[in-house]
Structure 1
């Protein structure tokens, strides 16, 4: 005999079907105990198709305009794949292609019209401005954080030149691009350029105090890497504990027309004086006689320029007297230029040199309201070499 199973959720026992198989169980209330899980239909067998990846990439590149040429290629390839395979993303592919095409046109215009050059010049200028240690320019004054113009400088404070300050900028030299030339080379350039530009800022060398010297800020290898290409030429106090007061500037921005006219004539003569040979006449007579000839020509030119300028009433006589002495000095240097003996050269050389920074020069300067204290020429300086200034510099 058979024992039917106990009643339960399956309901009462039912005999097998016609083919000897049990019928599916009947659940109460028409519900099933678990949901049926349908697998995702494979591609091409119904369901939602996937999005084309190249279409997405084309849209992203088109929006950011980073690589417009690549974005255009991705968009066109995506359209072909979508048409063949039935994927989604046709709108993204079209939008990416259009945006990339527009971006490509803009890039072509950017590089062919010079806009790229202007853009990079502006970017480099901005980087240079942001990375420069000194924000001060020619004619401005500043204080350093340490109060010293030697060593490393990381920042400065711009202050009025009328008060006390550590330094005054008299020139800025722009270095060419390329690889960092090295600390020694940068220092050599600073020596040459700063001392050459000094007289452009201070035409009246007599007005420079004895305690003032030339310093400079130079790029370092680290600051060069972020765009620093400037050498900043500075006036500072030779005393590490000292400072400056008042501007030292003496050029066309601070001098009147008569002062400028006089100082320009002096400048031409000073340029020849600086070229005096280092060897004595008994060592190299030919070099000295050649220089004496140049002195003769410079003195004649200076005297002629002084006579040609319409000086104010109070300065006419002192300037005429100076012109006469310069002509007499030119005669002496002319005789020194023709000397065939060192002793004869010295005789005329000393007579001609008496005019340089002499009483007539002081009277003329006083009449023009210029400094009347001759500078002290010290050829034995801290560098230990004649004619060269001591080393004073800041590094960025």
Structure 2
């Protein structure tokens, strides 16, 4: 490339000599300076520099190649094309490539989430996680320790430990939710509360054997884990103090109880269930509702008396159970009278008589004969009507 001489009437170096072997001047000499200095040599003039590459286009291409956040990659690609057109920058090909790859990524994500691929992937991950002591490996009857010592917040890694010793939690049920869209955190929590508090009675049939510092916790799927097929609610017992522990298993069901114990607990728990249904309004505020409830109690007592009388008890429990049945029959008569009275004071009189056998001496004696817990659970203060019935099994936990 030749360098043009400067403008003006004079040449910069004077008359030209015939070129020598290394140019017009001997090697090692420099031409004399003329009145004008030569222009400096630049590979590009001020208007020959290449346009810069659009940074948004680069980001779009990277996201498209990685198939990471495809929706974001697509948006960045479109933004980059608009900027390139406006500013005259380079990178149009990268923006187009990033947009196309992001579109492909969106299609793949949609197919994955709307077919069984995501669920299969989640099952595979969960199976692998189940071998490493994680929350996904927990099953009914397992006891575990949390790495933080608390059952609050998010939990993933857990350490399974023997239930006989101290532990943070004990699983008593695992619930599988139906598929479809994520129902929302509030809905999942409501389902967990409803199901877990119901299923605890199947795992711990004897409420007298549940310590007062035990309460119900649950692990629920998040919106993120739901996308990959997580549908399980894990119900568990833990200490009322989130940093406390439990000692020994709380399990007492068909796997740990004998036939006499199961028959007794089923009858007692059924009666307790109807006692828990006491109306919220006091008899003086809504006597008809309380009379209807008393009628229900009478009916359930009659059914459970027949069930207990029809069971063949071991010899050591025959007399204690017979004494309890006599008290239950008296209670049934009292509830029948409460259901038939139109006077509030008379209702309360029969109401008190109907509750006398509950947690009374004959109940404790029958439990002792059957090898069940004999310590009467405490309740939340004195009875004031409504849901806090003194005859229920609502533990002070």
Q: Which bracket does the TM-score occupy, shorter chain normalised?
A: 0.5 to 0.7
- Where does residue 146 of structure 1 map in the other structure? 148
TM-score when normalising by structure 2 = 0.64
- Where does residue 311 of structure 1 map in the other structure? 313
Once residues 118 and 193 of structure 2 are traced to their aligned partners in structure 1, the CA distance between those partners, rounded to angstroms, is 31
CA drift at 1:134? 2.8
CA drift at 1:242? 1.7
CA drift at 1:194? 0.3
Once residues 354 and 188 of structure 2 are traced to their aligned partners in structure 1, the CA distance between those partners, rounded to angstroms, is 40
Higher RCO structure (Cα 8 Å, ≥6 apart) = 1
Once residues 317 and 119 of structure 1 are traced to their aligned partners in structure 2, the CA distance between those partners, rounded to angstroms, is 62
Once residues 191 and 243 of structure 2 are traced to their aligned partners in structure 1, the CA distance between those partners, rounded to angstroms, is 27
Q: Does 1:329 align with 2:327?
A: no
CA drift at 1:145? 0.7
State which of 104, 123, 126 in structure 2 corresponds to 1:125.
Answer: 123
State which of 358, 366, 369 in structure 1 corresponds to 2:368.
Answer: 366
Question: What does 1:62-211 align with in structure 2 at a 5 Å threshold?
Answer: 125-130=123-128, 133-211=135-213
Contact 1:302 1:326 in 2 (8 A): no
State which of 222, 225, 228 in structure 2 corresponds to 1:223.
Answer: 225
- Give the ranges of 4+ consecutive aligned residues of structure 1 lying more than 2 Å apart after TM superposition: 117-134, 377-380
CA drift at 1:356? 1.1
- Where does residue 240 of structure 2 map in the other structure? 238
| 1:373–1:230 Cα change, 3 Å | same
Contact 2:118 2:229 in 1 (8 A): no
Unmatched segments (≥5 aa) in structure 2: 1-114
CA drift at 1:164? 1.1
Pairs aligned (count): 270
State which of 248, 251, 254 in structure 2 corresponds to 1:252.
Answer: 254
Q: CA RMSD in A?
A: 2.5
Per-residue deviation, residues 358-393 of structure 1 (Å, max 9, x unmatched):
11100100000100112222289xxxx979x99x9x
CA drift at 1:226? 2.1
- Where does residue 342 of structure 2 map in the other structure? 340
Once residues 376 and 287 of structure 2 are traced to their aligned partners in structure 1, the CA distance between those partners, rounded to angstroms, is 29
Per-residue deviation, residues 146-165 of structure 1 (Å, max 9, x unmatched):
01011111211111111111
Per-residue deviation, residues 325-354 of structure 1 (Å, max 9, x unmatched):
100100000000001111111110011111
Once residues 119 and 188 of structure 2 are traced to their aligned partners in structure 1, the CA distance between those partners, rounded to angstroms, is 23
2:141 counterpart SS class: coil
| 1:258–1:140 Cα change, 3 Å | same
Per-residue deviation, residues 194-248 of structure 1 (Å, max 9, x unmatched):
0011111011011000000000011111221222111100100112332111110
Once residues 127 and 155 of structure 1 are traced to their aligned partners in structure 2, the CA distance between those partners, rounded to angstroms, is 14
CA drift at 1:182? 1.3
Unmatched segments (≥5 aa) in structure 1: 1-116
CA drift at 1:126? 2.7
Once residues 121 and 253 of structure 1 are traced to their aligned partners in structure 2, the CA distance between those partners, rounded to angstroms, is 33
- Where does residue 47 of structure 1 map in the other structure? none
- Where does residue 270 of structure 2 map in the other structure? 268
Once residues 130 and 228 of structure 1 are traced to their aligned partners in structure 2, the CA distance between those partners, rounded to angstroms, is 14
| 1:375–1:273 Cα change, 3 Å | same
Per-residue deviation, residues 110-168 of structure 1 (Å, max 9, x unmatched):
xxxxxxx9999765533444567331100010111101011111211111111111000
Contact 2:119 2:229 in 1 (8 A): no
- Where does residue 299 of structure 2 map in the other structure? 297
Structure with max Cα Rg: 1
Once residues 231 and 320 of structure 2 are traced to their aligned partners in structure 1, the CA distance between those partners, rounded to angstroms, is 47
